[in-house]
């Protein structure tokens, strides 16, 4: 859910890479412009193999939305990456297990859906460690990727992710599906932003959405996303394929 994204910058990877001081924790991250983000930190921005589009879902698992998404993904023959909330996984561990059991990829969206700007670095670290433990216990697979709530990455987020062995990944195109627009509107938004090599952000849960059942628009938009991917000449898949299976954090 994105309706309350604060007017701050949401990427600080370059600062973190430069070894910026921990004292800068409360400073807003450095870059919001998508062009700059992509140029300086392409993997963080979600830019991967040129012939593919990564498909990602946030805020699940959900007992209704996630199975509906899984069903449609099965019809399309697609695999995707699910950025799960630890709190949702605790409520619905069998749904989280079903995601991985169907061949999809589990990733971490945090334990609770709280903006990291409102949390201290130790609190963020505890949140991620707890989320990793819950997702791993439910799915049997340790996650590799991390996307913060609202996409707000602080320096503390990056340090916590690094300590937890998670590589942060944002997105290049979203459908604003948490507002439950029509499926055509979702795809129209995506078509204006998506390019070969990009990453799509959608939601399989309405737990942080403005509209109950918002995932219904998402499900109905997926076949139209297939048409868009065909037009771009791209395959659709999870981040592990988009980034050739290796988390950015483990690359030399
Ligand atoms: Zn979210």
Catalytic, out of 113, 125, 203, 242: 203
User: What are the sequence ranges of the domains in the chain?
Assistant: 13-243
Taking 60 as the threshold, does the pLDDT of residue 251 lie above it?
no
177 is catalytic: no
Identify which has the larger pLDDT, 27 or 106.
106
Catalytic, out of 10, 58, 127, 177: 58
Give the tens place of pLDDT for each residue, 116-150.
Answer: 999 989 999 999 999 999 999 999 999 999 999 99
Q: Per-residue pLDDT averaged across 162-183, rounded? A: 93
Taking 80 as the threshold, does the pLDDT of residue 74 lie above it?
yes
CATH class held by domain 13-243: alpha beta
Ligand 1: centre distance to CA 169 (Å): 13
Tell me, what's the pLDDT at 40? 62
Q: What is the pTM of this model?
A: 0.85
Tell me, what's the pLDDT at 244? 84
**What is the DSSP code string of the chain?**
--TT--SSB-B-HHHHHTT--GGGGGS-BSB--HHHHHHH-TTTTT---TTEEEEEEES---TTHHHHHHHHHHHHT---EEEE-HHHHHH-HHHHHHHHHTT-EEEE--SS---GGGS-HHHHHHHHHHHHHHHHHHHSS---EE--GGG---HHHHHHHHHTT-EE---SEE--GGG---HHHHHHHHHHH--TT-EEEEES--TT-SSTTTHHHHHHHHHHHHHHHHHHT-EEE-HHHHTTT--GGG--
| pLDDT, mean over the chain | 85
203 is catalytic: yes
Q: Per-residue pLDDT averaged across 194-200, rounded? A: 97
Residue keyed to tokens 């309706």? 3
Ligand 1: centre distance to CA 65 (Å): 14
HSE-CB for 43 with a 13 A CA cutoff: 20
Ligand 1: centre distance to CA 178 (Å): 9
Q: What percent of the chain has pLDDT over 90?
A: 73
Ligand 1: centre distance to CA 143 (Å): 17
Identify which has the larger pLDDT, 5 or 144.
144
Identify which has the larger pLDDT, 24 or 68.
68
Ligand 1: centre distance to CA 113 (Å): 6
Ligand 1: centre distance to CA 214 (Å): 13
CB-CB neighbours of 147 under 10 Å: 26
Ligand 1: centre distance to CA 115 (Å): 10
Tell me, what's the pLDDT at 36? 58
Give dist(CA 132, CA 50) in Å, integer.
30
Q: Per-residue pLDDT averaged across 205-209, rounded? A: 93
Tell me, what's the pLDDT at 42? 80
Give the tens place of pLDDT for each residue, 10-40.
Answer: 333 333 333 333 333 333 444 455 665 666 6
Tell me, what's the pLDDT at 113? 96
First to last CA, the chain: 33
Ligand 1: centre distance to CA 151 (Å): 8
């Amino acid at each position: 859910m994105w309706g309350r994204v604060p007017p701050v910058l949401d990427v600080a990877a370059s600062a973190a890479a430069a070894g910026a001081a921990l004292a800068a924790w409360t400073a807003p991250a450095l870059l919001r412009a998508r062009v700059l983000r992509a140029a300086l930190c392409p993997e963080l921005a979600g830019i991967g193999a040129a012939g593919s589009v990564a498909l990602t879902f946030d805020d699940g698992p959900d007992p209704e939305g996630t199975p509906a998404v899984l069903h449609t993904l099965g019809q399309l023959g697609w695999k995707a990456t699910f950025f799960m909330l630890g709190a949702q996984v605790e409520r619905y561990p069998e749904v989280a297990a079903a995601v991985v059991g169907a061949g999809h990829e589990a990733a971490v969206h945090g334990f609770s859906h709280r903006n990291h700007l409102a949390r201290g670095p130790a609190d963020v670290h505890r949140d991620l460690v707890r989320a990793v433990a819950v997702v791993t216990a439910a799915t049997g697979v340790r996650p590799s990727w991390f996307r913060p709530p609202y996409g707000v990455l602080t320096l503390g987020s990056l340090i916590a992710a690094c300590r937890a062995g998670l590589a942060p990944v944002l997105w290049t195109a979203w459908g604003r599906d948490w507002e439950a627009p029509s499926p055509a509107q979702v795809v129209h938004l995506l078509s204006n932003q998506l390019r070969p090599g990009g990453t799509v952000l959608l939601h399989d849960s309405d737990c942080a959405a403005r509209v109950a059942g918002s995932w219904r628009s998402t499900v109905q938009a997926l076949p139209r996303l297939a048409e868009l991917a065909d037009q771009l000449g791209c395959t659709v898949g999870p981040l592990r394929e988009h980034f050739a299976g290796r988390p950015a954090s483990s690359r030399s």
